[in-house]
């Protein structure tokens, strides 16, 4: 059984020899330059650009990832054969594009060559998904494809009229609702430019800058090392938007530092994992799921980013407080003052990093073209790189390898969006979306609250072992219609999905961020995921709060926004104190129960419950404060 599981598990990174490394670099740089030019406004036919992008993603996936964990990591002629098939099938669609552009979809017949090339391309996408993401998503997609083929044989409301093989291929490959649909388009024309920005920023020392800023702000506090991890990961994650990349980048120095200052290996990995999971929630970039949301809903990205700001800050407040209370409870010490730089000294030394970040924030919020805003930010990194490297030759090297790193970082996202396109295409063709939405609603007995819980459960299950973009793309067509049927607005319904999908990075048993942290912390990845979920437990509650209180998404009057954000912030404080067992002083069971009740009351969307929760929190705070003062005033007996 373990052998079979290994055969079906995702592959591992391949050790590339020199020719393979240069192939990967050249493919990455060439594709990166093409997509950057498109972001700046250079016109390239949409379909041809997507064919080139998918061909590059598939080629890089097969070159850099083994077939399974048991395969040798050296050169593989099978991988080169799959690369040749990828280039050949995508090249066929590029060569035949003038012919395909003239045909009428679903009316004109497809040639045998068209059908063969389509089947090969779908199979390649499935194999790349198995290697890079895992068998779970492949089985899910295969199930949906089987439904498209055999669903007409079912009885009841889930039956459909039936489709021929040509109709299925026509819809999945030759229409804009399938493989080359919105998901892949967003990955190529929108997500990519921000991934490149994060990659180049890291190459020129951006991660070190964020770490130094965090260190100067919180390094001298109790448990300073763990707080630095939370703040630096949040700052870097707001740019990269990838939980795994955040763990690998900031965790490489924050996890060992936390362990050195007294934190257990499991808890150090869990803190980094929990903080990294929030990277896809924090503006200005928010990860690729937010860009997919723009395409799915038609809501401008600036509106989404502003709406997501308060919940994201509350998420990091929750993780920070969990770390703070844990540090006080365990008596952890601050970091050495000699290692804590001054914030003014950092800004005087590294002020140039603020220029591209400021341009990015301004462009995303002010321009109605997020890809162009990202391209401007990338361009602004060129003088920063020159300032950092002090050498035109080193600048060219930084740009070359930054583009290559960015394209390698797109492999998982590109494959996930391609496979998600197949699912979305199958759902739209068979109208399964409405049937599943109706099924979710009936499963919850028509109760709005139970429907939301069922939807969250479905998203979490889908998210096990899958990247956030794929989870969102699937959930947006499966769960969002059910939520909107309840009368919930489109913005909170889809942000709910983004939020829960982001938490899938730390949800056991397959938590990608926890597995990345485990390799650094040298601890059990499942235990890291369990502790990370405990640290971020309040974050699982916040999406339910803004579903019922949209003022948390800046929807409403200023007074409503202030009241809701204030009560939720106090609720975050109370719940974290109850979970960690410390608040002003060590908490016994009675005080923990009181604080837990106060936190739940502050989250409930009823004024009477919120007032009761606030009063209970105030009373418990006064009780603890008086007890602490009394303990300090009591003279010690020698």
Nearest partner of 477 among 293, 250, 321, judged by Cα = 293
For 531, list phi and psi in degrees, rounded to 5: -65, -35
Q: Which residues of the chain have pLDDT under 70?
A: 1-9, 69-74, 241, 333, 335-340, 446, 464-465, 509-510, 631-638
Query: SS3 sequence, 119-141?
Result: HHHHHHHHHHHHHHCCHHHHHHH
Tell me the DSSP string of 378-435. HHHHHHHHHHHH--HHHHHHHHHHHHHHHHHHHHHHHHHHHHHHHHHHHHHHHTHHHH
Q: What is the pLDDT of residue 449?
A: 84
Q: Which two tokens stand for residue 450?
A: 């139970």
Side-chain half-sphere CA neighbours of 353 within 13 A: 24
Give the separation between CA 435 and CA 105, rounded to whole angstroms: 26
Q: What is the pLDDT of residue 5?
A: 54
Residue keyed to tokens 């048991």: 70
Helices 18-39 and 370-389: angle between axes, nearest 10 degrees = 130
Nearest partner of 245 among 513, 526, 60, 14, judged by Cα = 513
CA distances from 332 to 215, 323, 574 (A): 16, 10, 21
Nearest partner of 319 among 246, 400, 392, judged by Cα = 246
With contact defined as beta carbons under 8 Å apart, do 506 and 539 qualify?
no
Q: How many C-beta neighbours within 10 Å does residue 325 have? A: 22
Q: What is the CA radius of gyration of the chain?
A: 25
Q: What is the pLDDT of residue 634?
A: 58
Nearest partner of 417 among 171, 243, 239, 189, judged by Cα = 189
Give the separation between CA 475 and CA 455, rounded to whole angstroms: 8
Give the separation between CA 524 and CA 515, rounded to whole angstroms: 8
Nearest partner of 412 among 255, 289, 525, judged by Cα = 289
The DSSP element (H or E) to which 583 belongs, if any, is strand 582-583
Q: What is the pLDDT of residue 337?
A: 52
Nearest partner of 38 among 193, 177, 181, judged by Cα = 193
CA distances from 253 to 59, 269, 520 (A): 32, 11, 9
The DSSP element (H or E) to which 585 belongs, if any, is strand 585-586
Give the separation between CA 314 and CA 571, rounded to whole angstroms: 10
CA distances from 534 to 231, 339, 556, 596 (A): 19, 30, 32, 14
Nearest partner of 491 among 275, 300, 357, 255, judged by Cα = 300
With contact defined as beta carbons under 8 Å apart, do 619 and 574 qualify?
no
DSSP state of 65: B
Q: What is the pLDDT of residue 570?
A: 95
Distance, CA of 394 to chain centre: 32
In three-state secondary structure terms, 13 is: strand
Q: What is the pLDDT of residue 119?
A: 94
Classify each residue of 369-379 as buried b or exposed e, where b means 16 or more C-beta atoms within 10 Å of its C-beta.
ebbebbbbbbe
Q: What is the pLDDT of residue 638?
A: 43
With contact defined as beta carbons under 8 Å apart, do 323 and 271 qualify?
yes
């Amino acid at each position: 059984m373990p052998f079979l599981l290994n055969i079906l598990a995702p592959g591992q990174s391949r050790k590339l020899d020199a020719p393979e490394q240069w192939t990967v670099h050249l493919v990455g740089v060439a594709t990166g330059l093409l997509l950057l030019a498109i972001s700046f406004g250079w016109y390239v036919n949409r379909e041809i650009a997507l064919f080139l992008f998918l061909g590059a993603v598939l080629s890089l996936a097969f070159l850099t990832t083994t077939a399974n964990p048991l395969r040798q990591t050296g050169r593989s002629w099978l991988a080169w054969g799959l690369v040749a098939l990828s280039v050949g099938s995508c090249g066929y669609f590029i060569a035949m594009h003038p012919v395909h552009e003239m045909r009428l979809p679903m009316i004109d017949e497809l040639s045998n060559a068209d059908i063969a090339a389509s089947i090969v391309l779908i199979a390649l996408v499935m194999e790349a998904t198995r290697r890079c993401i895992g068998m779970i998503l492949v089985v899910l997609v295969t199930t949906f494809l089987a439904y498209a083929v055999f669903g007409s044989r079912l009885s009841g409301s889930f039956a459909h009229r039936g489709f021929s093989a040509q109709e299925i291929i026509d819809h999945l490959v030759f229409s804009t609702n399938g493989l080359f649909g919105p998901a892949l388009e967003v990955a190529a024309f929108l997500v990519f430019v921000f991934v490149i920005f994060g990659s180049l920023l890291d190459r020129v020392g951006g991660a070190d800058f964020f770490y130094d800023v965090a260190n100067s702000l919180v390094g001298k506090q109790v448990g300073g090392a763990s707080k630095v991890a939370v703040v630096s990961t949040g700052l870097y994650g707001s740019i990269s938007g990838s939980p795994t990349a955040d763990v690998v980048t900031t965790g490489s120095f924050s996890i060992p530092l936390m362990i050195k200052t007294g934190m257990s290996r499991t808890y150090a990995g869990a803190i980094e994992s929990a903080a990294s999971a929030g990277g896809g929630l924090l503006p200005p970039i928010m990860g690729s799921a937010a860009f997919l949301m723009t395409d799915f809903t038609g809501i401008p990205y600036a509106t989404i980013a502003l709406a997501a700001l308060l919940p994201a800050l509350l998420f990091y407040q929750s993780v920070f407080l969990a770390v703070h209370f844990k540090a006080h409870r365990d008596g952890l010490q601050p970091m050495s003052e000699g290692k804590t730089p001054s914030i003014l000294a950092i800004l005087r030394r590294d002020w140039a990093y603020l220029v591209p970040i400021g341009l990015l924030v301004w462009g995303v919020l002010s321009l109605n073209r997020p890809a162009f805003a990202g391209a401007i930010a990338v361009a602004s990194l060129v003088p920063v790189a020159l300032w950092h490297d002090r050498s035109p030759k080193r600048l060219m090297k930084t740009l070359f390898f930054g583009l290559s790193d960015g394209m390698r970082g797109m492999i998982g996202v590109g494959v996930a969006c391609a496979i998600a396109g197949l699912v979305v295409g199958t759902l739209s063709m068979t109208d399964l979306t409405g049937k599943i939405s109706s099924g979710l609603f009936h499963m919850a007995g028509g109760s709005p609250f139970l429907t939301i819980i069922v939807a969250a459960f479905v998203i979490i299950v889908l998210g096990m072992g899958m990247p956030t973009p794929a989870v969102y793309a699937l959930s947006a067509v499966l769960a969002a219609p059910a939520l909107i049927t309840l009368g919930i607005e489109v913005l909170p319904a889809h942000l709910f999905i983004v939020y829960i999908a982001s938490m899938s990075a730390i949800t056991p048993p397959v938590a990608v961020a926890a597995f990345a942290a485990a390799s650094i912390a040298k601890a059990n990845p499942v235990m890291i995921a369990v502790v990370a979920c405990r640290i971020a437990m309040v974050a699982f509650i916040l999406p339910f709060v803004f579903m019922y209180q949209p003022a948390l998404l800046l929807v409403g009057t200023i007074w409503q926004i202030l009241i809701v954000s204030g009560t939720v912030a106090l609720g975050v404080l109370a719940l974290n104190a109850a979970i960690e067992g410390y608040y002003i002083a060590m908490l016994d069971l009675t005080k923990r129960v009181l604080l837990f009740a106060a936190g739940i009351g502050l989250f409930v969307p009823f004024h009477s419950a919120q007032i009761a929760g606030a009063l209970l929190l105030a009373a418990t705070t006064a009780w603890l404060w008086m007890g602490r003062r009394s303990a300090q005033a009591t003279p010690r007996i020698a």
